[in-house]
Structures are given as structure tokens and as C-alpha cells.
């Protein structure tokens, strides 16, 4: 009987240790995933901020052109051209295709 109890105790101890190792691995992976999710949110916020900056520059460009006396079509064309250049620049910075 004594040997059976020792064998069961040994088996349960080994099982407990394996479960602890598995738990540690999973917790590490979950922490890594959470860190990456947070980083992705921060990057998305920065990208949105960059796009808003381009949009505000576009609006400012249109207003400047209109104040300078350019006709509406020329002002819009100029603003559109500048906006395209700014967006291309931002995409290059963000490595977006």
C-alpha cells in the first residue's frame, strides 16, 4: 500500500508541475498579445492623427487660396494637388501602399 501511495503522489506532483509550466507559457503569450494589441491601438491613433493633420492642412490650403483671390476651380485644383502630395508623403512615412 505504501508504494502505491508514493506512486500516486509522484504522479500527481509531476502533473501539477506540468500544469504550472503550461499555465506560465499561456500567461506569457496572453501578456505578449495584450502588449501587441495596445501597441496596435497606439499606432492606429497616430495614423488617425496624421490623416487629420493632412485634412486640416487641406482645409487651410483651400482657405488661403480663396483669400488670395484665386477662382474656385483653380483653388480646389491646387488644394487637391497639395492634398495628394501630403497623403503620399504620409503613406511613405507609414509604409502604406
User: Could you report the per-residue pLDDT of 23-73, keeping only the tens digit for each?
Assistant: 999 999 999 999 999 999 999 998 888 888 877 776 676 566 555 555 566
pLDDT at 8: 94
State mean pLDDT over 72-76: 65
Evaluate if residue 96 carries a pLDDT over 60: no
For residues 61 and 83, what is the distance between their CA atoms, to the nearest angstrom? 9
pTM of the model: 0.50
User: Span 3-31, mean pLDDT?
Assistant: 95
In our burial notation (b when 16+ CB lie closer than 10 A, e otherwise), range 5-17 reads: eeeeeeeeeeeee
Task: Give just the sign of the alpha carbon dihedral 65, 66, 72, 76.
Answer: positive
Amino acid at each position: 500500500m505504501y508504494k502505491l501511495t508514493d506512486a500516486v503522489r509522484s504522479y500527481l506532483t509531476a502533473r501539477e508541475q506540468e500544469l504550472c509550466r503550461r499555465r506560465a507559457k499561456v500567461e506569457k503569450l496572453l501578456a505578449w498579445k495584450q502588449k501587441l494589441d495596445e501597441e496596435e491601438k497606439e499606432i492606429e491613433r497616430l495614423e488617425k492623427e496624421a490623416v487629420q493633420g493632412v485634412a486640416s492642412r487641406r482645409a487651410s490650403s483651400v482657405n488661403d487660396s480663396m483669400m488670395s483671390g484665386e477662382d474656385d476651380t483653380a483653388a480646389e485644383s491646387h488644394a487637391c494637388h497639395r492634398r495628394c502630395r501630403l497623403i503620399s508623403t504620409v503613406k511613405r512615412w507609414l509604409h502604406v501602399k
